[in-house]
Amino acid sequence: PPEWRRRLVVIGCGYLGATHAACMAELGHEVLGVEVDPARLAALQAGRVPFHEPGLAELLARHVASGRLRFTDSYAEAGAFGDVHFVCVGTPQRGDSLGADTSHVEAAVASLAPHLDRPALVVGKSTVPVGTAASLAATLAALSPAPDEVDLAWSPEFLREGFAIADTLRPDRVVVGVASERAEKLLRELYAPQVDAGCPLVVTDLATAELVKVAANAFLATKISFVNAVSEVCEAAGADVVDLAEALGHDARIGHRFLRAGIGFGGGCLPKDIRAFVHRAGELGVEDTMSFLRQVDAINQRQRQRVVQLSTALLGGSVTRTRIAVWGAAFKPDSDDVRDSPALSIAGRLHLRGATVTVHDPAAGGTARAAYPTLTYADSPLEACRDADLLLHLTEWSDYREVDVAAVGRVVRRKQLLDGRNALDAALWREHGFTVRGMGRRP
């Protein structure tokens, strides 16, 4: 095999790990994924992806079939196999504080370390509180039988769900935090395909690399909450946030992306990362400087409540015994992920207030049903609208822009649309007799 081909281990095969493993196999490496969840492991070993990510199923199945990608639950096998070990396990919000739970990362490194008895590089990719890498380096040094030959590096991942493969193969930038030249050399070699194609590479220390990731997500969250806060001013002043954001975005220093006003951000990353960032800043004695992120979080929560209030107003002051159709359950389109989904949180609140809420989502019906079993689910956008007094558009799947508006008009009881993502063609809906409200838009 060519000299650049490596034996790579990927520990934790969720969104991040499964994508990273399949993409590394695609780049020509031999890859072993470690997954301790038996159901997820069985699916991956059979070449199946246990979640929705465009293109990943094909890529993974192809490399499992070719033998370049395998999966195991054995750390001993991983230690014997790998030159480089990527740690891709989750760091969810803790149950007892707003901080991140790093126990899975710690357990992964502690389980692997005793099997590292020859030169190896452990590369953290999980999103962690700054300082975690330094403590993991100490764990490696204490538990590895060959501490002088084992290095730790940190290389945060910026992939978005729905674009995971493209973001991995053609990232905006690669960041590597290293504590040795040996680690830097190996990582430069591993990321050569991306860097040779023009991707910027930032080489820095461990703590900076850890911080880049949370700072990036905090900035994105701040941008969204900024425009959402302004959207409320727009409503109060009779202005329009869509025109406003377009105008703002033409300033190259601001840019158009992440300026879409709506029901706010959700998912497994942004909400928990900003909370963990404030929490960590507090532990470091600099909480005040990050306290604005509490506001970012509060503005984001407020958007959900605004939709509930506006819906109640549109239904005449009470939602009891009304029927509400909800389009979208995933936290964003092209995903079946409902973690901290603003759409489902709104649907759940309206249900609790006495409405019959019928939800449709092109991909997240199953995960939504598991998380919110008391809601009603429909198999098509039209079926969700039957006899509805109000239609809420909460996740902007392209499917919903293609629905026949006249047909929706024929099945609903009252022609009312609240577009929580400002993504449907309001003029078209109005032509069909609908009252249309958006977020921060003129009524």
Instruction: Say how many residues make up the chain.
Output: 443
Task: Tell me: does residue 269 bind ligand UGA (CB under 6 A).
Answer: yes
- Residues 270, 273, 279, 280, CA torsion sign: negative
Residue 30 CB contacts under 8 Å (≥ 6 apart), including other chains: 5, 6, 7, 8, 68
Angle at 38 between CA 34 and CA 43, to 5 degrees: 80
Which residues, numbered 304-343, are part of the site for ligand UGA (CB under 6 A)? 331-332
Secondary structure of 231-284 in HEC code, one letter for each residue: HHHHHHHCCCHHHHHHHHHCCCCCCCCCCCCCCCCCCCCHHHHHHHHHHHHHHC
Tell whether residue 71 is a contact of ligand UGA (CB under 6 A). no
Task: With contacts defined by CB under 6 A, name the span among 6-14, 99-107, 260-268, 320-328 that binds ligand UGA.
Answer: 260-268
Per CB under 6 A, the segment of 48-56, 137-145, 156-164, 423-431 that binds ligand UGA is 156-164
Return the residue of 160, 294, 353, 430 that touches ligand UGA, per CB under 6 A: 160
Q: Tell which one of 270, 350, 368, 408 touches ligand UGA (CB under 6 A).
A: 270
Under 8 Å between Cβ of 12 and 88? yes
Give the binding-site size for ligand UGA (rule: CB under 6 A). Answer: 21
Work out the widest C-alpha separation in the chain, in whole angstroms. Answer: 73
CB of 18 to ligand UGA, least distance (A): 13
Query: Which amino acid is residue 363, in one-letter code?
Result: A
Q: Determine which residue in the list 51, 139, 232, 258 makes contact with ligand UGA, applying CB under 6 A.
A: 258
Near ligand UGA by CB under 6 A, which window of 1-9, 23-31, 154-162, 192-200? Answer: 154-162
Stretch that binds ligand UGA, among 103-111, 256-264, 313-321, 427-435 (CB under 6 A): 256-264
- Count Cβ neighbours within 10 Å for each residue of 350-359 and write b for 16 or more, e otherwise: bbebebbbbb
In whole angstroms, how close is the CB of 98 to ligand UGA at the nearest point?
16
Contact flag: residue 364 with ligand UGA (CB under 6 A): no
Provide the 8-state DSSP code for 115. Answer: G
Q: Which of positions 9-48 make contact with ligand UGA (CB under 6 A)?
A: none
159 forms part of the interface with ligand UGA (CB under 6 A)? yes
C-beta closer to ligand UGA: residue 151 or 240? 240
Q: Read off the amino acid at residue 260.
A: R
> Among 101-109, 159-167, 187-195, 307-315, which window interacts with ligand UGA (CB under 6 A)?
159-167
Asked if 406 and 432 touch (Cβ cutoff 8 Å), the reply is yes
376-377, strands of its sheet edge to edge: 376-377, 356-360, 323-327, 390-393, 416-419, 435-437
User: Per CB under 6 A, does 267 bind ligand UGA?
Assistant: yes
| Catalytic choice (23, 88, 234, 269) | 269
* 13 a catalytic residue: no
Site string for ligand UGA, 108-127 (x = CB under 6 A): -------------------x
Is-contact 273 218, C-beta < 8 A? yes
| Choice from 191, 265, 372, 429 touching ligand UGA (CB under 6 A) | 265
Q: In angstroms, rounded to a whole number, what is the distance separating the alpha carbons of residues 394 and 389?
A: 16
- Binding flags for ligand UGA, 182-221, as an x/- string (CB under 6 A): -----------------------------------x--x-
Q: Angle at CA 54, nearest 5°, toward 52 and 59? A: 105
- Kindly list the catalytic residues: 269
Q: Give me the residues that bind ligand UGA (CB under 6 A), please.
A: 127, 157-161, 217, 220, 224, 258-260, 262, 264-267, 269-270, 331-332
